[in-house]
Amino acid sequence: MEFWASAEVAKPAHAALVHCERLLEAELNKALADSDLAGLKGKFRYVPIVMPPDWAVNYPPRSRLRKNEGDGVYDCAPQLDYETFIKGSFEEQLAEYTRGILLEAAQIAGLGASLDQVREFEDLVVTARFRITGSGAPASGPLSISPQKSLMEEFLACSGRAFQDGADAPSPQEMRSELLKMRALMIAARDSGKAKAPRDFIDRFLGTLDDAVRVLDEGGDVEAALKILGSIKIPSLRGV
């Protein structure tokens, strides 16, 4: 599978968005070539829409699967937050840029991808982001995680959305995206060999995240997924 990127973007946000685009396109295509997705026919064509709020109504999301184009193309064209590319840091801009991909990554099933390949694609996107920013990828040094430091707090800290009491409920797609970010961070920590938490503890945590993602994939039940996350036994949160 090939990743290709362009954009529909207002001029003030153009330079910031193109910077993200060029870096991610190079990093992600390199990773895809060395992955189980290398043999998957088709293209993920990412054309996010980045417009001021008063313009955005004239540029609605227009994602669609095009099976009649060569080996098949998924056009991923969500709206992204304009202000992030005007005022945000580079890390925030790249997070917003990759968020659009993660919200629709599961659509590569229409190109023939298996569920495992969908998850691998999502992992590659998140890992590419961390490699570019140098904030958590294995090549940048291990993530410091221990049972005494709440992994759920680590999740909330890296999440663009807080799943806390009183917060607005996330959509299934938003929640799935944030869980996959945490999953990639956990795998980076585990595979570095230097994580403070015991490997079996990390593996159990990953299993719980996978269960929550599975619930979202099968029925989009955010409440059930949150209940699964609430079952995680972490000393600093549960007093055990």
Instruction: Give the model confidence (pLDDT) of 212-240 as tens digits.
Output: 888 888 888 888 888 887 776 544 333 33
Q: Counting beta carbons within 10 angstroms of the beta carbon of residue 217, is it exposed (0 to 12), middle (13 to 18) or buried (19 or more)?
A: middle
Where are the strands (E) in the chain, listed by range?
2-5, 8-9, 43-46, 49-50, 64-66, 73-76
Q: Which two tokens stand for residue 108?
A: 């590569």
Helix (H) or strand (E) holding 226: helix 222-230
Nearest to 44 by CA among 22, 61, 59, 66: 66
Where are the strands (E) in 89-234, listed by range?
none
Which domains can be identified in the chain, with CATH numbers?
2-133 (3.40.390), 141-238 (1.20.120)
DSSP type of residue 105: G
Residues sharing a CB contact under 8 Å with residue 147, sequence separation 6 or more, in sequence order: 197, 198, 201, 234, 235, 236
Helix (H) or strand (E) holding 174: helix 172-192
Nearest to 4 by CA among 63, 70, 51, 74: 74
Question: pLDDT digit of tens for each residue in the chain (240 aa)?
Answer: 999 999 999 999 999 999 999 999 999 999 999 999 999 999 999 999 999 999 989 999 999 999 888 789 999 999 999 999 999 999 999 989 998 998 888 899 999 999 889 888 988 898 888 888 875 433 333 333 333 344 444 454 444 444 554 556 678 888 888 788 777 777 776 666 655 566 666 777 788 888 888 888 888 888 888 888 777 654 433 333
For residue 69, the model assigns a pLDDT of 82
Q: The tokens 């995206």 sit on which residue?
A: 177
Residues sharing a CB contact under 8 Å with residue 15, sequence separation 6 or more, in sequence order: none
How many helices (H) and strands (E) are present in the chain, helices listed first?
10, 6
Cβ-contact 90, 21 below 8 angstroms: no
For residue 181, the model assigns a pLDDT of 76
Nearest to 21 by CA among 50, 59, 1: 50
